[in-house]
Amino acid sequence: MTPIYNQLLIPFLTAMLVAITMGGSGTAPAFSASYGANVLRKSLIPGLFGIMVFVGAFVAGKKTAGTMGSGILPAEYMSFTVVSVALFSIAVTMLVSNISGIPQSTSQAAVLALAAPALYFGKLDTHSLFYEIIPAWFVLPIVSYFLSYFCGKYIYQPMRRRGLTIQRAQNENKRHIWDVVLIIMALYVSFAIGSNNVANAAGPLYTMTINELHIRESDHIVILMLATLIVAPCFGIGASLFGHKILRNTGKEIILFGKFEAVIIAFISGSLLLLASVFKGIPTSLVQVNVAAILGIGVAKMGHKNIFRKTQVRRFFGMWMIAPIISFVLSLLLIFIADKANMLH
């Protein structure tokens, strides 16, 4: 194996590690609703999740991959060392979150891991970061919360008062239909994750490979497909290794919800992420959008005082604030060390 291919091995292996840690965190927004409603066995989740993430990345992930590949840090700076540092920082951040059992935004960790070298080189695209990506991180969860809240308050609650909820009104056959609908929604959310979160690892990998191997433009799509093919299946591995604890925290411990509410949560979460991916290519947090939808339904059913007293909710917000900072600081520190060791040239 030639030296350049030896160098490629490190970022590719690191990208696979990132995808494994992202898979653990991403399982929660995809399957916490169906798991919390006791529709799907946990042993089936990693395989279903991995397949749909893979499909979503191939069908709808190109635009977000472009953002992660050149929209934060210019493409010409995507070298072996820089990409390895960014991916390693993401992996460490996500590993800490997975061990703590708290679903974390892979996109926020990834964006800030790339923003650190961009800032260090004086090449940070502040317009893209501060006027598009970061505002979406705040706006989408708020939209998710209120959509879910209004669905809970003005659709679910009136149906419940009239005795039309699924639990009361439907026979056994119709309950099975709703089980199928809920599983479809989980697959839909997994597809949306593939359209957005796979790019966090595949985008930098794709751009680095083109730069370092001097790939001609006509072959760029092949390299993107290769990067996706390597990264996407690792999400399923991560779901198997880390997914159960996170599923329990989000699906069982925030709020006990039924199938009707679970469908609302999954549909709102997946649709918002898919819209961000397809129309703007914005890497955003499905985890936060999903938890916001769960909280919206919870407040509609229980009131805000009861739902926000939950211990897990407080832990979630704490980790969401800390983890992206860890990713940024670690990436910046490693880039500084690499520069002093003359590894950036």
pLDDT in tens, 45-66: 888 888 999 999 999 999 999 9
Taking a C-beta distance cutoff of 8 angstroms, is the pair 268, 148 a contact?
yes
- For residue 301, the model assigns a pLDDT of 79
pLDDT on residue 222: 87
**How far, CA to CA in Å, does 240 sit from each of 15, 97, 246?**
18, 16, 11
Residue 323 carries which side chain, given as an amino acid letter? A
At residue 306 the predicted structure's pLDDT band, cuts being 50, 70 and 90, is low
Mean pLDDT of the 227-235 span: 90
pTM of the predicted structure, to 2 decimals: 0.88
Q: What pLDDT shows up at residue 271? A: 96
Residues 338/85, Cβ–Cβ less than 8 Å: yes
pLDDT per position as a tens digit, 288-301: 898 888 888 888 87
Q: Which of 76-85, 280-289, 296-305 has the lowest mean pLDDT?
A: 296-305
Find the DSSP H helices in the chain.
3-36, 45-60, 62-66, 80-100, 106-120, 126-128, 134-151, 157-161, 166-169, 172-196, 199-213, 220-231, 233-247, 259-275, 286-302, 304-308, 311-340
Give 21's contacts (C-beta < 8 A, 6+ positions apart).
90, 91, 94, 95, 97, 98, 106, 238, 242
Residues 222, 216: Cα–Cα separation, whole Å = 11
- The predicted structure's pLDDT at residue 110: 93
The three-class DSSP label of residue 339 is: helix
Phi, psi of 255 (to 5 degrees): -165, 140
Which percentage of the chain shows pLDDT scores above 90? Answer: 41
pLDDT over 90 at 115, yes or no: yes
CA gyration radius for the chain?
20
| Residues in CB range of 44: below 8 A, 6 or more apart | none
For residues 211 and 230, what is the distance between their CA atoms, to the nearest angstrom? 18
> Taking a C-beta distance cutoff of 8 angstroms, is the pair 89, 327 a contact?
yes
> Token digits for 283?
């890497």
Q: What is the pLDDT of residue 310?
A: 57
Interval 108-137 mean pLDDT: 93
pLDDT at 245: 65
Identity at 76, one-letter amino acid code: E
User: Which whole number is the average pLDDT over 38-46?
Assistant: 79
Distance CA 262, CA 301 (A): 13
What confidence score (pLDDT) does residue 252 get? Answer: 54
pLDDT of residue 251: 58
What rounded mean pLDDT belongs to the chain? 84
pLDDT at 287: 81
Tell me the pLDDT band of 311, cut-offs 50, 70 and 90: very low
Tell whether the model's pLDDT for residue 101 goes beyond 80: no
Q: Which of 21-35, 69-83, 139-153 has the lowest mean pLDDT?
A: 21-35
